[in-house]
Amino acid sequence: MREPRDPAELLKSAADGDRTAWDLLESRFGPRMWAVARVCGLNEADAADAVQGAWLRLLEHLHTIREPSGVGAWLATTTRREALLIARRDSPGILSVDVASDPDPAAAVLEADDSRLLWKTVSDLKEPCRTLLQLVATDMGSQQMAVRLGMPVGTVGPTRIRCLEKLRTLISLQETVQ
Partner 1 sequence: MINDEYFLAALRLAAGSDPIPGHVSAAARDTYGLRVSQAVTAPPADCASPIGARGGDGPGLVRFVAAGLTFDLEVTVGDGLIDVAGQVFPHPGEGSHVDVRTPHLTLTRRLARTGQFAVTGLPPGWLSVVCHRPGLAPVQTRWVRIRP
Q: Footprint of partner 1 on this chain (CB under 8 A)?
A: 14, 17, 19, 22-23, 26-27, 30-36, 38-40, 44, 47-49, 51-53, 55-57, 59-60, 62, 76, 80, 82, 85-86, 91-96, 104, 106-110, 112, 115-116, 118-119, 122, 133-134, 136-139, 161, 164, 167-168
C-alpha to C-alpha distance for 109 and 28, rounded to whole angstroms? 15
**Shortest CB 52 distance to partner 1, Å:** 5
Indicate the residue among 22 and 70 with the shorter CB distance to partner 1: 22
How far is Cα 140 from Cα 117, in angstroms, rounded to an integer? Answer: 22
Residue type, 100: A
Q: Whole-angstrom Cα distance, residue 165 to residue 174?
A: 14
DSSP letters spanning 114-130: -HHHHHHHHHHSPTTHH
The helix-helix angle for 7-15 and 19-39 (nearest 10°) equals 120
The DSSP symbol for 111 reads G
- In the bound state with partner 1, the residue whose beta carbon lies nearer, of 6 and 23, is 23
CB nearer to partner 1: give 35 or 149: 35
**Shortest approach of partner 1 to residue 106 CB, angstroms?**
4
Least gap, CB of 147 to partner 1 (angstroms): 19
